[in-house]
């Protein structure tokens, strides 16, 4: 018996559900009830806002949480940018719900975590095999390497194992801010996913981003492995000279950094080398 082909989708998630919920006028009574909680502004709350903690605590059985799920169930493509792209993907491939599996990646904010869980609950109701949302720390312009390393860490095992099982793996990069979707595209390219797609606002249709093979050149990898996690600067400079490189060469490529008299291999580079050696 031929094993059915499974299409694995990895989502990044933003807060479009919250903004669309407010603009739609769905359950205005709740907007009034939670006026002191500024529910009408949830979609644009900064990460450090104290209200994020309350939003993160919402669960099934709480009226505003259940209303968000009902709102998404009523018209998922209008309610959620992520689901709009996903259902476009499903339609493009004419896929039944049992042919897909979804992994949802959330930033470390209450609003994004709430939207991730609402999407998860909706997909489960529809019969899609949606795994529990995964929280990723460090996504932001000020901490690019840490965010990329964390995302690589979270996605690497999934993509590798699913590819070994014969699944096709796609990244839905519609949701989230530009850094998040950029990380997702980079991770998909570095880890060998089959494709990336997103919903193009102007075309009102999904657009596929070609996967370009990204990696660290083997000649660099050999040298970086000898550096290990870190090495005293003087020793590192000598090692690099022996291999025909300078400290500046690798710093400009963002492969290493100098800190406190040490040369340190970037965390995302170590993650990528570890994956390549499996």
Could you report the per-residue pLDDT of 174-193, keeping only the tens digit for each? 987 666 777 788 878 877 88
Eight-class DSSP state of 53: H
What pLDDT was estimated at residue 177?
Answer: 66
Structural domains in the chain plus CATH codes: 7-209 (3.40.50.10770), 218-276 (1.10.10.1690)
Give the C-alpha separation, 212 to 5, whole Å: 24
User: In percent, how much of the chain has pLDDT > 70?
Assistant: 91
Identify the residue whose tokens are 């739609």. Answer: 24
Q: Which strands, in side-by-side order, build the sheet including 262-265? A: 230-232, 262-265, 256-259
Kindly state the tokens that stand for 100: 């897909």
Q: What are the Cα distances from residue 145, in Å, to 140, 177, 218, 274?
A: 9, 17, 20, 16
Q: Give pTM, 2 decimals.
A: 0.83
Instruction: Kindly tell me if the per-residue pLDDT of 1 is higher than 50.
Output: no
Q: Detail the DSSP E strand segments found in 97-151.
A: 100-106, 129-130, 134-135
Range picked from 1-5, 36-40, 215-219 for highest mean pLDDT: 36-40
Report how far residue 44's alpha carbon sits from residue 16's, in angstroms, rounded to the nearest whole number.
Answer: 10
Counting Cα atoms < 13 Å in the Cβ hemisphere of 178 gives 1
Q: What is the Cβ-side half-sphere exposure of residue 206, based on CA atoms within 13 angstroms?
A: 27
The answer to whether residues 73 and 125 touch, using CB atoms and an 8 Å cutoff, is: yes
Rg (CA), the chain: 21
Q: By three-state DSSP, how is residue 48 classified?
A: coil
Residue 203 has pLDDT above 70, yes or no: no
CA 172 to chain centre: 9
Q: 141-170, pLDDT tens digit by residue?
A: 566 667 777 877 888 889 888 988 999 999
The whole-angstrom separation of Cα 33 and Cα 171 is: 37
């Amino acid at each position: 018996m031929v094993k059915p082909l499974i299409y694995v989708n990895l989502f990044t998630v933003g807060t479009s559900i919250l903004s669309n919920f407010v603009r739609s006028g769905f359950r205005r009574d709740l907007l009034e009830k939670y006026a002191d909680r500024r529910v009408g502004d949830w979609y644009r709350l900064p990460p450090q806002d104290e209200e994020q903690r309350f939003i993160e605590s919402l669960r099934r059985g709480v009226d505003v949480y259940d209303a968000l799920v009902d709102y998404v169930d009523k018209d998922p493509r209008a309610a959620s940018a992520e689901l709009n792209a996903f259902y476009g993907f499903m339609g493009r491939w004419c896929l039944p719900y049992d042919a897909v599996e979804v992994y949802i990646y959330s930033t470390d904010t209450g609003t994004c975590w709430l939207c991730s869980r609402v999407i998860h609950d909706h997909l489960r109701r529809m019969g899609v095999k949606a795994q529990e949302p995964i929280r990723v720390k460090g996504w932001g312009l000020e901490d690019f390497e840490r965010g990329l390393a964390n995302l690589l860490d979270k996605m690497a095992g999934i993509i590798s194992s699913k590819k070994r099982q014969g699944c096709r793996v796609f990244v839905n990069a519609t949701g989230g801010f530009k850094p998040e979707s950029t990380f997702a595209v980079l991770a998909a390219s570095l880890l060998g996913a089959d494709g990336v797609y997103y919903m193009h606002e102007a075309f009102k249709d999904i657009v596929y981003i070609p996967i370009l093979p990204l990696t660290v050149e083997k000649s660099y990898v050999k040298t970086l492995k000898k550096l290990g996690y870190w090495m005293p600067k003087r020793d590192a400079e000598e090692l690099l000279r022996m291999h025909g490189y300078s400290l500046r060469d690798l710093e400009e490529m963002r492969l290493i950094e100098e800190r406190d008299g040490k040369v340190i291999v970037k965390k995302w580079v170590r993650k990528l080398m570890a994956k390549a050696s499996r």
